[in-house]
Amino acid sequence: MKIKVIIYEDNQVFRESLVRLLGSSPSYEVVGAFPHCVNIEDEIKNLQPQVALMDIQMPGVNGLKGLEIIRQHSNDIKVIMLTVFEDNKNIFDAIRKGANGYLLKQSSPVQIFSAIDEVLKGGAPLTPSIASSVLTLLSDKKVTPVGNKYQLTPREKEILESLVEGNSYKMIASALFISPETVKTHIKKVYEKLQVNSQTEAVSKAMKEKIV
């Protein structure tokens, strides 16, 4: 069964190129492509996408607001921001509002396909420069860390930091020389301690409160 993808992009040329790109693969079906998020609530209800590629700056209702609307109705739709903006505010706002990934428009077709596959497997794909910005936010010396008030173990903090960096369960398991099932067990405990229900919420809380 094909993966249903919806696109929100106000640049017609880029929007149409995304439609052609995804349409060239037997794995994906573009169920809708729109220049703004004005009608996004009805569109996601009617079209039932599994993945959304979302620009940020669009007329009427922009991508960050569109992301908020999606999250009000569903935590299952994987939202990848696909934008030219690489400033810390937009990155942080997108993650805080529930984005599953953040790519720049200069990303190659291979990177876009890879990002879609990654979010569907529970990962959080980031363009390398965006990952670097996230790490800079986390290591900002001007912000006083809140300490380990959630009582995370060193291993749990290590795994949470890896999630923030956008690594998949498989990548974390490989890096730490443990099994994916062990990673899932640790992540479940992290969710319980942070009082969150998803990877997006955990990453957002970790960044906002400087937990790692």
pTM for the full model? 0.64
Q: What is the pLDDT of residue 123?
A: 85
Same domain for 97 and 147? no
Same domain for 116 and 150? no
Q: In which domain, by residue range, is 86 found?
A: 3-126
In a domain, 135, yes or no: no
Same domain for 110 and 41? yes
The last residue of a domain, from among 126, 150, 179? 126
How far apart, in whole angstroms, are the C-alpha atoms of residue 167 and residue 160? 10
Instruction: Flag residues of the chain having pLDDT under 70.
Output: 135-148
- What is the number of structural domains in the chain? 2
Same domain for 68 and 147? no
Same domain for 75 and 149? no
Same domain for 115 and 146? no
Q: What is the pLDDT of residue 141?
A: 44
- pLDDT tens across 84-115, in order? 887 777 888 888 888 999 999 988 999 999 99
Same domain for 14 and 72? yes
Same domain for 7 and 107? yes
How far apart, in whole angstroms, are the C-alpha atoms of residue 136 and residue 130? 10
Same domain for 89 and 122? yes
Same domain for 110 and 26? yes
